[in-house]
Copies of this chain bind each other. A is one copy, B any other.
Amino acid sequence: MKILVINPNTTTSMTDKIASAARAVARPDTEIVAASSQDGPASIQGFLDVATCVPGLLKEVVQHRDVDAIVIACFDDTGLDALRTLVSVPVLGIGEAAYHAASMIANKFSVITTLSRSVPGLENNLMRYGLAQKCGRVRATEIPVLKLEEGDPATLDKIRSEIRVAIEQDNAEAIVLGCAGMADLMAHLSEEFGLPVIDGVAAGITFAEALVNNKLRTSKIGAYSYS
């Protein structure tokens, strides 16, 4: 099967990282097509970026009509409803996928994301998916998305410190890393803290494979009908 993983921002170094996280977890016979939006913000932080990246995202997606499933590689799940209306294959956001995965292996999870201004959008998504009650708290590190690309050790320390607080104060039993750019940190942090650390890209790809194997497609009755 062929899965399109689409980065709705225009930073291709992030797309490369996402593609590599996707391929690391995909089945041998799954082809990962990684694409970036050609037109939109360099990173997606807050409601304005979320709204303005969608047309570029949709334009890029229609270039890849022969795929079996689509994963939106932005933790805000930008354009999720619009894409589900546009196509009939399954569409998953990486935030959505990570929350579902966390709900399957832990009683309560917390989310560690980038900036405070991104928190309300994630909280809204959690409420809408119904999974807010499984989430202890959405925590911001105040590290901008693109800063994560630089590999500064101080960056990792801030993430570690928020994980520690989430375990102590939120009774978090699992951690969702709330940014596509954090994908490569998963294994290390999971071992260090002795609890599951979930990356949305990996969760999104494997759940997309699952839906395709179930022959399940986006419903075309009601909310996502073509017209």
Contact = CB atoms under 8 A, between A and B. Distances in A.
Interface stretch (A12-20, A84-92, A147-155): A84-92
Interface string A99-126: 0110111111000000011011100100
A65 interface: no
Contacts of A105: 90, 211, 216-219
A39 to B, nearest CB: 10
Contacts of A209: 206, 209-210, 213
A128 interface: yes
Contact of A174 (B86, B206, B219): B219
Contacts of A218: 105-106
Given A120-B107, A129-B103, A219 B198 contact: no
Contact of A203 (B51, B129, B214): B214
Contacts of A222: 106-108, 116-117, 119-120, 171, 173
A131 interface: yes
Given A52-B55, A81-B121, A187-B215, 16 more contacts: A46-B223, A92-B104, A106-B219, A106-B224, A116-B225, A117-B227, A119-B171, A119-B222, A119-B223, A120-B223, A127-B128, A130-B132, A173-B219, A198-B214, A198-B216, A206-B210
List 8 tightest A-B contacts by C-beta distance, closest first: A206-B210, A51-B82, A107-B223, A47-B81, A120-B223, A173-B219, A106-B219, A130-B130
13 contacts: A25-B214, A27-B27, A46-B227, A47-B224, A51-B54, A54-B54, A96-B104, A101-B214, A119-B222, A121-B223, A124-B128, A206-B211, A210-B210
